[in-house]
């Protein structure tokens, strides 16, 4: 009799435990239980190589040209030049865009003894279309040069240097070509009493020139009432990879004129710029309107809790609640079963005596 009761109690306990395990597992999400993640298939690099090869250049001068490379606008491209034989030389890299504007992006004398063995040249595009790349080398002896031209389609001009919070609130984003003295003007609708951040940076390299005064900018902002704010006057833009920015707070709402003038010592250069909303400066109360009634409900607060001290609360996920409830229920059931068995055994022993 006691053996049968013990077997029954074991069966009941095992059944209760199975129900408990099933209840716990049912509270977990169904994904991830032996399923293959679909996103893993697409987790691939967006980098692509247009050229990646070693080329021989013959003394005293030689030229290598690539035509009809289709480049996308507002994207950064990178050219890697690496001398892989122990020779000194002079290298020039020229890029011709779809409208035949010429960019002199690299020009330098390479001295291997001074560890001048490789260079990376950035080039951000302003327009899309077919580009030509021309590499010319002047050398006393034949040499080999590794050339790599790559693109990362996710690497947009100036984007990596702007915080994501500003990228979410962009009002203007542009990459333009500038010759010496070129002026661009944009009309943009801005709110009143709001601070905006203005960004600007050069995205195409310049060869053979020092950074000092190679590219300068004049920047003016005119508000809807015709008031002009001069921001930069003959200010050096800086090299690729650096960025200038300033904050501009508005006093009136309407169409603002943004005027940018670039001076440069080369035929053409690409400049990227952007405008993003930052934060609200004031509550727009200029004293001409009455202050709002601090007690608009005549002393009756429709939401009394709004005037009380905020109290924190602890959130318990539903999975935890179910797991705890099932565990506690299972434990109580097991205790009840064993208690009943024990009482039964005691009563039987009394009878036998």
| 218 belongs to a structural domain | yes
| CB-count exposure of residue 136 (10 Å: 0-12, 13-18, 19+) | middle
Residue-wise pLDDT for 310-351, tens only, equals 333 344 455 555 555 566 566 655 555 555 545 444 444 333
Whether residues 83 and 193 share a domain: the answer is no
| 47 belongs to a structural domain | no
| In the predicted structure, residue 80 carries a pLDDT above the cut 60 | yes
| 169 belongs to a structural domain | yes
| In the predicted structure, residue 173 carries a pLDDT above the cut 50 | yes
Residue-wise pLDDT for 175-185, tens only, equals 999 999 999 99
Whether residues 169 and 269 share a domain: the answer is yes
| 202 belongs to a structural domain | yes
> What secondary structure letter does DSSP report for 204?
B
Residues 97/103, Cβ–Cβ less than 8 Å: yes
**Among 123, 139, 156, residue at a domain's last position:** 156
Residue-wise pLDDT for 86-122, tens only, equals 989 999 999 999 999 999 999 988 887 777 778 999 9
Work out the mean pLDDT of the chain and round it to a whole number: 78
Query: 3-state class of 46 per DSSP?
Result: coil
Whether residue 60 is preceded by a cis peptide bond, meaning omega within 30 degrees of 0, is yes
Residue-wise pLDDT for 22-71, tens only, equals 555 444 443 332 222 222 233 334 578 999 999 999 999 999 999 989 99
Whether residues 275 and 165 share a domain: the answer is yes
Rounded-to-integer distance, Cα 28 and Cα 261, Å: 60
| In the predicted structure, residue 307 carries a pLDDT above the cut 80 | no
Whether residues 79 and 173 share a domain: the answer is no
Q: Is the pTM of this model over 0.95?
A: no
Domains identified in the chain, total number: 3
Rounded-to-integer distance, Cα 337 and Cα 10, Å: 9
Q: Determine the pLDDT at residue 349.
A: 37
Q: Determine the pLDDT at residue 283.
A: 82
Domain that holds residue 145: 58-156
| 230 belongs to a structural domain | yes
Q: What is the CATH number of the domain that holds 164?
A: 2.60.120.380
């Amino acid at each position: 009799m006691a053996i049968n009761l013990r077997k029954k109690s074991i069966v009941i306990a095992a059944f209760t435990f199975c129900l408990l395990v099933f209840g716990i597992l049912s509270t977990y999400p169904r994904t991830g239980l032996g399923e293959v993640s679909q996103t893993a298939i697409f987790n691939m690099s967006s980098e692509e190589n247009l050229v990646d090869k070693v080329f021989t250049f013959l003394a005293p001068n030689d030229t290598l040209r690539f035509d009809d490379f289709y480049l996308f606008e507002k994207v950064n491209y990178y050219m890697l030049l690496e001398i892989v034989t122990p020779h000194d030389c002079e290298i020039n890299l020229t890029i011709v865009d779809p409208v035949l504007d010429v960019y002199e992006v690299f020009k330098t004398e390479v001295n291997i003894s001074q560890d001048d063995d490789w260079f990376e040249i950035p080039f951000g595009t302003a327009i899309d279309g077919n580009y030509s790349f021309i590499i010319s080398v002047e050398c006393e002896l034949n040499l080999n040069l590794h050339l790599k031209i790559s693109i990362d389609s996710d690497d947009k001009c100036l984007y990596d240097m702007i915080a994501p919070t500003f990228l979410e609130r962009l009002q203007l984003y542009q990459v333009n070509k500038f010759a010496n003295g070129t002026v661009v003007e944009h009309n943009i609708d801005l709110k009143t009493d709001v601070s905006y951040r203005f960004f600007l940076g050069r995205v195409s390299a310049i060869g053979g020139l020092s950074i000092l005064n190679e590219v300068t900018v004049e920047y003016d902002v005119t508000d809807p009432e015709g008031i002009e704010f001069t921001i930069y006057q003959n200010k050096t833009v800086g090299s690729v990879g650096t960025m200038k920015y300033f904050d501009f707070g508005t006093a009136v709402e309407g169409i603002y004129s943004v005027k940018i003038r670039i001076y440069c010592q080369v035929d053409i250069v690409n400049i990227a710029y952007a405008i993003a909303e930052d934060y609200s400066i004031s509550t727009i109360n200029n004293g001409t309107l009455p202050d709002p009634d601090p007690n608009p409900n005549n002393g009756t607060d429709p939401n009394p809790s709004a005037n009380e001290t905020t109290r924190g609360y602890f959130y318990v996920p539903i999975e935890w609640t179910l797991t705890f409830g099932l565990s506690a229920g299972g434990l109580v059931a097991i205790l009840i079963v064993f208690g009943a068995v024990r009482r039964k055994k005691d009563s039987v022993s009394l009878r036998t005596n």
